[in-house]
Amino acid sequence: MKVRFQADADLNQVIIKATIRHEPRIDFRTALTANLPGLRDKDVLALAARDGRVLVTHDRKTMPKHFADFITAETSTGVLIIPQRLSVAHAVEEITLIWTASEAEEWINRIYSLPL
């Protein structure tokens, strides 16, 4: 199955829009659509897992720890961390590559940081 993405509340919205503009077939749900603003990291991870989506975030500070805690008790559909300093164009290229070259099952309980 193709990878589907869930934006965290902190993710730059330009990345989402540019990714969809670049490849309209990518399923990339916004944080607002998923009602994520205000949720704790563990709840965001649970929602992404429940919906079978890889969580895309800028949160390098707290998300890795919450992810590690989460996967001790639950199964995650994966987390992708995009550094704030990475250009939008580079982020779009990497997200598109992930969508093209990997399957959702390959992301189970995995966390990656761009660039790959």
* CATH number, position 90: 3.40.50
Encode pLDDT of 47-83 as tens digits. 999 999 999 999 999 999 999 999 999 999 999 999 9
Note the pTM of the prediction, 2 decimals.
Answer: 0.95
* Average pLDDT over every residue of 78-104: 97
Per-residue pLDDT band at 3 (split at 50, 70, 90): very high
Distance (Å, rounded) from C-alpha 23 to C-alpha 114?
Answer: 19
What's the number of domains the chain is made of? 1
The range of the structural domain enclosing residue 49 comes to: 5-113
CA distances 10 to 17, 35, 57, 59, 71, Å, are 15, 13, 6, 7, 22
Distance (Å, rounded) from C-alpha 46 to C-alpha 43?
Answer: 5
Q: Report the residue count for the chain.
A: 116
Encode pLDDT of 16-45 as tens digits. 999 999 999 999 999 999 999 899 999 999
Q: DSSP for 55-71?
A: EEE---SSHHHHHHHHT
Residue 116 has pLDDT above 90, yes or no: no
